[in-house]
Structure 1
Amino acid sequence: MLQRVDYKTNLMIGDQTYPAFELRNILDFIGAHLGAVALRDVCSHIGVGRTELEHCQFVYVWQVQYAMEYLRIQSHDPDIGTQLGLSYSVQSLDILLPHLAQLTTLQACLQFVLNHPQLVGSFTDSLIRLEDDSIAIRWLNTGRMEQQQYGFQFLHSIGSLLGLARQLTGQGVTLKYIHLADAPRDSQFLTQATGAQINFNAAYFEWSIDLAYLGLPVTYAFNHPRHSLSEQAENSLIDTVLTLLRGTFPLVPSVDALAMQLHMSDRSLRRKLSHLGTSYQKLLDQVRCQTAIALILKDSMSIDAIAETMGYSDVSHFRQCFKHWLGHPPGYFSRLNRSE
């Protein structure tokens, strides 16, 4: 069973690996909706063509994010992320097919998605709450992504999960509600596509589904899955940096000391991280934020004690940092996410 409150640190960024089927689906959608010129532009920037992707299991996160952001900006359509997700077919899921073929219910499929970000792909940390008659998935922007980009990825995730759920079960699965941190806009398409109550100006991006739907059996007839020919084997610099930071936390090495461990200059490290769309400070903030969230959700320590545990000598400084990370002070976050 899913836990009543479960925190998933599934955020993936930069040169971490991401399933290639996602990028193939996005590029196909771009070609169909924006045209061949747009498709060539995206492929040229990310350094991989649509044909080459047929022979890959994994790509880089930044390549997928670039393609998504290109689609968002060029389409000028606030619902394009949902449309993209709904366009996915089960048979396009590639490396996921052998796993999904073994699952018998929609709940098992959702658990697999939440527990295997390396195979499914994830742009966010999330909080899963099991309520009386539903499950709510709240997105936590620990990577401090720009809100419009984050909202696009949230709606894309909803579209893909909902569309695939309908294909897997053969049933008209709908959502209970969708909370958006965006300003109000026309929500007719989103309402019709998801069946959900749409709420704007929310504290977080969040969606919920009735438990009755999760009990539906998987009836999809799986064919023999196509196996990709190769996978990306290069080490991730971001994975390495995060591992080193978590290994010494709450003690924090300077960027110079970290660079020495990686046998490079601090300038080279900063440049490489910048090229991947991040920085030493952003990765350090990610580790700090994720650690703080986990401690707050345990509900066994005061905010003052958590601040001290994390190496803050001044609790007010910790409160300011936490608000900078998530937009809410730790006390408010605790009340908002406390299990009833």
Structure 2
Amino acid sequence: METISPVYARLVLRELERRQINAASLFDGLSIGPNELQRGGDISMPDFLHILRAGDRLLEGEQLGFLLGQKINALALGPVGVAIASAPDLRKGLQVLESFSRLHATYVDIVARSTLGGMTVTILYRHDTGDVEHFHTETAMILLQQYIETTTGEPIHDARFRLAMPEPANSIEYSNALHGQISFGATANEVDIPHKWLDRSSPFYHPELWRQAQTSLSRSLKQLSASQDTPFMQHVAGLLRTSEPPLPDLDAVAFGLNISQRTLNRRLQAENTSFRKLKSQAMARWAKQYLGQTDYSVEAIAEALGYQDTANFRRAFRNSEGCSPVEFRQKNSSQGESSVPE
């Protein structure tokens, strides 16, 4: 069963109590009551969606998703929040969010990828949230914005928010809440974070807490993967996808996941893949970005990707894409930049 932290439902209850609104209908037909919500652990998605819909009706006129987002901070994410709050910089915090977000809410995936312009964070839903999906997206966008701005100390006016919903009549509410450029009708809920913010040192970095949090999350991830048959390779691919060239080696990725190289290789082998294969895929994605979105020479791209010999880069690219780097660039140029995946 898909579950979620009780924090958000507790906030709905608190906002009703603050306004002296009878909250009894929040729990109509549910397996939990106010006491269980306040003192218990994760709650089921059906229970949460009921509370969210009932809260929206009772708080008529409020932008509930933004209201919830503005009342919380990274610590609402539990152990994941502790880790990202104590991270050395924004990039490493977002890498943790990408790798471990399902430990906080099993119905959502946070997918991040580094691009030439910075990093794009995508919010994907595993559970059909129906008519309340926009509440989830609004809360997630505000929470992400708060984390970025708390870490960097500045408003992210140069970020781009893309929302997978038609433009609502109250779109001004979105402009007031989100500090960057906003577009509606997108194919996915995404935020583009400019490169300049990613590697700034965080004033909240706490080395011991950071390491302890990663260790704890890695243990929890192992348990989740075993119980839900979650592919381990998606976490390795996530670390590679959120890194910039030169991409981390096996030792660095194993260290980031708090496991040994031998264990990492064994777990990937059990899923019929390998670190070398996953890294080659990540390298190919970067190569296509460079070829399609810059005028760098093939030699310069090979060097940026960490190849000692340009011939090795040409050979690896042909094996991956079925054409040479020059042929790919020529084909992409004739089709336009939109054909190049980020």
Q: Structure 1-normalised TM-score?
A: 0.52
Question: In structure 2, what is the Cα distance between the partners aligned to 1:153 and 1:336?
Answer: 29
User: Is the contact between residue 113 and residue 120 of structure 1 (CA under 8 Å) also seen in structure 2?
Assistant: no
Q: Which has the higher contact order (CA 8 A, sep 6+)?
A: 1
> Does residue 62 of the first structure (1) align with residue 62 of the second (2)?
no
Give 1:74 shift: 4.3
Asked which structure has the greater CA Rg, the reply is 2
Residue of structure 2 in register with 1:153 after alignment: 136
- Alpha-carbon distance change, 118 to 45 in structure 1, aligned in 2, over 3 angstroms: farther
Which of 335, 338, 341 is 1:339 aligned to?
Answer: 341
Question: In structure 2, what is the Cα distance between the partners aligned to 1:85 and 1:126?
Answer: 16
> Does residue 22 of the first structure (1) align with residue 12 of the second (2)?
no
Residue of structure 2 in register with 1:137 after alignment: 121
What is the CA deviation profile of residues 238-268 of structure 1, one whole-angstrom value per residue up to 9, with x for unaligned ones?
A: x999759x9xxxxxxxxxxxxxxxxxxxxxx
> Does residue 32 of the first structure (1) align with residue 18 of the second (2)?
yes
- Alpha-carbon distance change, 17 to 52 in structure 1, aligned in 2, over 3 angstroms: same
Residue type at the aligned position of 1:112: V
Question: In structure 2, what is the Cα distance between the partners aligned to 1:217 and 1:78?
Answer: 36
Residue type at the aligned position of 1:36: I
Q: 1:1-340 maps to which residues of 2 (within 5 A)?
A: 15-32=1-18, 35-37=20-22, 39-77=23-61, 79-90=63-74, 92-96=76-80, 98-100=82-84, 102-121=86-105, 123-125=107-109, 127-140=111-124, 143-146=127-130, 148-174=131-157, 176-185=159-168, 186-220=170-204, 339-340=341-342
User: Is the contact between residue 102 and residue 108 of structure 2 (CA under 8 Å) also seen in structure 1?
Assistant: no
What secondary structure sits across from 2:341 in the alignment? coil
Q: Looking at secondary structure, tell me which structure has more helix per residue.
A: 2
Give 1:58 shift: 2.4
User: Is the contact between residue 124 and residue 140 of structure 1 (CA under 8 Å) also seen in structure 2?
Assistant: yes
Give 1:109 shift: 2.1
What is the CA deviation profile of residues 5-45 of structure 1, one whole-angstrom value per residue up to 9, with x for unaligned ones?
A: xxxxxxxxxx3332233332333234336x431x3321444
Question: In structure 1, what is the Cα distance between the partners aligned to 2:99 and 2:10?
Answer: 23
Question: In structure 1, what is the Cα distance between the partners aligned to 2:201 and 2:51?
Answer: 34
Question: In structure 1, what is the Cα distance between the partners aligned to 2:14 and 2:204?
Answer: 23
Give 1:88 shift: 0.5
Question: In structure 2, what is the Cα distance between the partners aligned to 1:337 and 1:128?
Answer: 20
Give 1:336 shift: 7.9
Residue type at the aligned position of 1:55: R
Give aligned pairs, total.
Answer: 224
Question: In structure 1, what is the Cα distance between the partners aligned to 2:134 and 2:339?
Answer: 20
CA RMSD of aligned residues (A): 4.1
Residue type at the aligned position of 1:20: P
Give 1:111 shift: 1.9
User: Is the contact between residue 88 and residue 205 of structure 2 (CA under 8 Å) also seen in structure 1?
Assistant: no
What secondary structure sits across from 1:135 in the alignment? strand
Question: In structure 1, what is the Cα distance between the partners aligned to 2:182 and 2:9?
Answer: 28
Percent sequence identity over matched residues? Answer: 15
What secondary structure sits across from 1:183 in the alignment? coil
User: Is the contact between residue 123 and residue 189 of structure 2 (CA under 8 Å) also seen in structure 1?
Assistant: yes
Q: Which ranges in structure 1 are unaligned for 5 or more consecutive residues?
A: 1-14, 225-238, 247-296, 301-334
Q: Structure 2-normalised TM-score?
A: 0.52
Give 1:159 shift: 1.2
Give 1:183 shift: 2.6
Residue of structure 1 in register with 2:268 after alignment: none
Residue of structure 1 in register with 2:253 after alignment: none
Residue of structure 2 in register with 1:256 after alignment: none
Question: In structure 1, what is the Cα distance between the partners aligned to 2:24 and 2:54?
Answer: 12
